[in-house]
């Protein structure tokens, strides 16, 4: 398996990779419109709502994993095949594109984030959409050992990491979910703080210190969540980059947990 994060120079040195633009915005802006206004030459646009998420409900959360057949259909229609190596980016240091990379990697495909994303791309952007011929992409079940449910995330036996910004973790505000706060016992590791001021990943030793402070050890059982299971993937890839073992994604995340009114909520740090 290739590393979870690579540079643009790595992309230049390894021709044949498929580029994927995975922009999406919590505030309602259109990632597709952003793609059409300017994207990396040769990149296809991957629609998070259509191909990387399933139907929304209070019981499942805002971005549950799609059925494997839906994911496979999306990849095939975009021209991504079983044997392709996919390099994904966005304009937020990979916090959104991480969802595609994680989904591909856990199903056995070669995929990585492009370090820095659009902020560090050295070339000229283009506006013409990229169209690749349809490819063969096999539907594979999501591996159970890489997933966690609401009971797992509530179990103090696990190290549970919350990837949201600190103000949402503390419960100071929540623009999209019914209850502010966090899962009791969770530690706040904001995914955007995995990055430096240029949107590149922090050095490995700094990443390791961040996770160790949150209670991560070499043999810990780690569960990652966020608002809806998207940016939590950035922490999972960061853990791997820092040399820790694979954690588990809680896909329902806070958008599911906060609707479960029988579950306790913690506020503050």
Active centre residues (catalytic): 226
Cα of 88 vs its chain's centroid, Å: 11
Give yes or no for a contact between 64 and 252, defined as CB atoms under 8 angstroms apart.
yes
Cα of 233 vs its chain's centroid, Å: 3
How large is the greatest C-alpha to C-alpha distance in the chain, in angstroms? 53
Query: Cβ–Cβ contacts within 10 Å for residue 123, how many?
Result: 9
Give yes or no for a contact between 79 and 132, defined as CB atoms under 8 angstroms apart.
yes
DSSP 3-state assignment of 112? Answer: strand
Give yes or no for a contact between 242 and 211, defined as CB atoms under 8 angstroms apart.
yes
Q: How far apart are CA 237 and CA 239, in angstroms?
A: 5
Q: How far apart are CA 75 and CA 67, in angstroms?
A: 13
In this structure, what token pair is assigned to residue 259?
């609707």
116: left (phi over 0), alpha (psi -120 to 50) or beta: left
């Amino acid at each position: 398996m290739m590393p979870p994060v690579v540079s643009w120079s790595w992309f230049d040195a390894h021709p044949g990779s498929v580029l994927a633009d995975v922009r999406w915005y919590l505030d309602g802006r259109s990632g597709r419109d952003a793609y059409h206004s300017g994207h990396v030459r040769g990149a296809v646009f991957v629609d998070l709502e259509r191909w990387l998420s399933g139907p929304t409900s209070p019981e499942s959360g805002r971005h549950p994993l799609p059925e494997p057949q839906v994911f496979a259909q999306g990849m095939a229609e975009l021209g991504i095949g079983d044997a392709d190596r996919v390099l994904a980016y966005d304009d937020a240091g990979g916090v959104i594109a991480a969802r595609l990379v994680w989904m591909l990697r856990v199903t056995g495909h070669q995929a990585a984030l492009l370090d820095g994303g659009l902020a560090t791309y050295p070339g000229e952007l283009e506006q013409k959409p990229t169209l690749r011929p349809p490819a063969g992409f096999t539907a594979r079940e999501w591996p159970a050992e890489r997933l966690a449910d609401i009971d797992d995330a509530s179990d103090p036996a696990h190290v549970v990491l919350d990837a949201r910004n600190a103000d949402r973790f503390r419960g100071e505000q929540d623009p999209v979910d019914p209850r502010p706060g966090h899962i009791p016992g969770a530690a706040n590791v904001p995914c955007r703080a995995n990055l430096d001021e240029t949107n590149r990943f922090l050095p490995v030793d700094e990443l390791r210190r961040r996770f160790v402070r949150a209670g991560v050890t070499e043999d810990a059982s780690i569960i990652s969540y966020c608002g809806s299971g998207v940016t939590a993937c950035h922490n999972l890839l960061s853990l791997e980059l820092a040399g820790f073992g694979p954690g588990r994604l809680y896909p329902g995340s806070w958008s599911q947990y906060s609707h479960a009114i029988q579950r306790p909520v913690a506020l503050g740090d």
